[in-house]
Amino acid sequence: MRAFTTAVLALLAGSANAYFSDDEPSTTSTHVPACTATSSTGSGAFFDLRRDIAWPADSGKEHKSAIHKDYHARGYDYGKNFTMNICSSVVDRVTDVVGVDESRWSNVSAYYMSQGNIYSIGSESMDLKSRGRKLLLQYTGGSPCGESKKRLEARDDRPASDGSVRTMEKDDEERAENPEYEHSDTDEDGVRRKSTIISFHCDRDPGNSHPLISFVGTDPDECAYFFEARSVHACASAEPHKPGNVGPGSVFGLILLIAVLVYFIGGIFFNRTVNHARGWRQLPNYSLWAGMWSSICDIFIRAVSACFRKINRRRGYTSVRSGPSARDSDDEANRLIDQLDEEWDN
């Protein structure tokens, strides 16, 4: 019996290992949804900012309860205010964006206005990143950065390797010869464009139902902009169950099923071969299950009988006794009455 049980357990364990193997094709086909991220620290924390995306009011039933207005951030001493969205383009579409092709106006995710002109500081991106304890979202491909005075002066006065003074023309020639000369935020045409980085922080204040975005600063060239956003959805949570993967409930159910199969199969084999039982008596602990079944049947019969008695009482029916027991009780009652009469006469 022990050998049989061990063999059954080994077989079922092998099947379970094959079922939960990491090499299963269905698990490799899953991917992380857009605007979500898993912590890079290995803690298993999951971040989902999809509920912070602002959608147009007529975007459909699935976004009926979503935010329908763009986010705003004051520049304070910077002198400009910003309008942006999270993981998507702005709700209120913009036009005549400086230095951006008309085909890309609908992709602008953050911008500011200056002297009546609209400057993009990044196009939409859903590539949410987790770097340590930081949760970051980056927009690139905005309007051209332009040259600051400090940058122009530094480029004009920088000495060349041959001792002569470098000029902007020489820089342009060197840039054309070496594509990696400029920074990584340049596009295919060698134009440096504005970009945005938003750092998200957990905010558990129940009064803040919507994210709060604050402007942090920009670089001297006004090419890279930095913001902080506080949101309840930036708090770490458990990663939801992915389609194709086995969840905790499935694991528990499979273990329970294996235990039940081992119990019944092993018990039937033992009773059939050792005790030479046949029929229902082959089941393990047959007397226990039979007693439980009898108890359940008795309880059911008593409950049904009690229900019928209550129904009869509500309808006004009374039980009528008949037979020898009823006649004996009547005779006994008459005898007691006669005895009381005799004692009263005396």
Q: Give the residue-averaged pLDDT of 12-24.
A: 48
pLDDT, tens digit, 9 for 90 and up, residues 120-134? 999 999 999 998 888
256 and 227 in one domain?
A: no
Please tell me the predicted confidence (pLDDT) of residue 168.
43
Residue 84 belongs to domain with CATH number: 2.70.130.10
Residue scoring higher pLDDT (59 or 98):
98
Please tell me the predicted confidence (pLDDT) of residue 147.
63
Q: Which of 84, 39, 340 is nearest to 196 (CA)?
A: 84
Please tell me the predicted confidence (pLDDT) of residue 13.
52
- How many distinct structural domains can be found in the chain? 3
H-run or E-run covering 296? helix 286-314
When pLDDT is cut at 50, 70 and 90, the band that residue 14 belongs to is low
Residue 155 resides in a domain: no
When pLDDT is cut at 50, 70 and 90, the band that residue 335 belongs to is confident
pLDDT, tens digit, 9 for 90 and up, residues 192-223? 999 999 999 999 887 788 899 999 999 988 99
Residue scoring higher pLDDT (246 or 221):
221
Measured between alpha carbons, how far is 248 from 39 in angstroms, rounded to an integer?
21
pLDDT, tens digit, 9 for 90 and up, residues 172-186? 454 444 443 344 456
pTM score, whole prediction: 0.56
51 and 77 in one domain?
A: yes
- Which contacts qualify for 257-262: CB closer than 8 Å, 24 or more apart? 258/12, 258/16, 261/8, 261/12, 262/5, 262/8, 262/9, 262/12
Residue 204 resides in a domain: yes
Measured between alpha carbons, how far is 201 from 212 in angstroms, rounded to an integer?
10
Residue 294 resides in a domain: yes
**157-166, 185-194, 216-225, 309-318: least confidently modelled range:** 157-166
Residue 231 resides in a domain: yes
Please tell me the predicted confidence (pLDDT) of residue 278.
81
**Beta-carbon-side half-sphere exposure of residue 224 (alpha carbons within 13 Å):** 9
Q: Are strands 71-73 and 45-48 parallel, antiparallel or unpaired?
A: unpaired
Residue 102 resides in a domain: yes
328 and 194 in one domain?
A: no
Measured between alpha carbons, how far is 124 from 139 in angstroms, rounded to an integer?
6
Please tell me the predicted confidence (pLDDT) of residue 219.
92
202 and 83 in one domain?
A: yes
129 and 81 in one domain?
A: yes
115 and 193 in one domain?
A: yes
Residue scoring higher pLDDT (335 or 256):
256
Residue 168 resides in a domain: no
192 and 290 in one domain?
A: no
Residues of the chain above pLDDT 90, percent = 32
39 and 102 in one domain?
A: yes
Please tell me the predicted confidence (pLDDT) of residue 179.
42
Q: What is the mean pLDDT of the chain?
A: 76
Residue 169 resides in a domain: no
- Orientation angle between helical segments 149-157 and 168-177, nearest 10 degrees: 80
pLDDT, tens digit, 9 for 90 and up, residues 49-82? 999 999 988 877 677 768 889 999 999 888 899 9
107 and 41 in one domain?
A: yes
The domain boundary, picked from 203, 238, 273, lies at 238
300 and 341 in one domain?
A: yes
Length reported for the chain = 346
**103-107, 122-126, 245-249, 294-298: least confidently modelled range:** 245-249
249 and 218 in one domain?
A: no
| Structural domain harbouring 279 | 1-27+244-284
Residue scoring higher pLDDT (47 or 60):
47
Residue 180 resides in a domain: no
294 and 217 in one domain?
A: no
Q: What are phi and psi of 321, to 5 degrees?
A: -85, 145
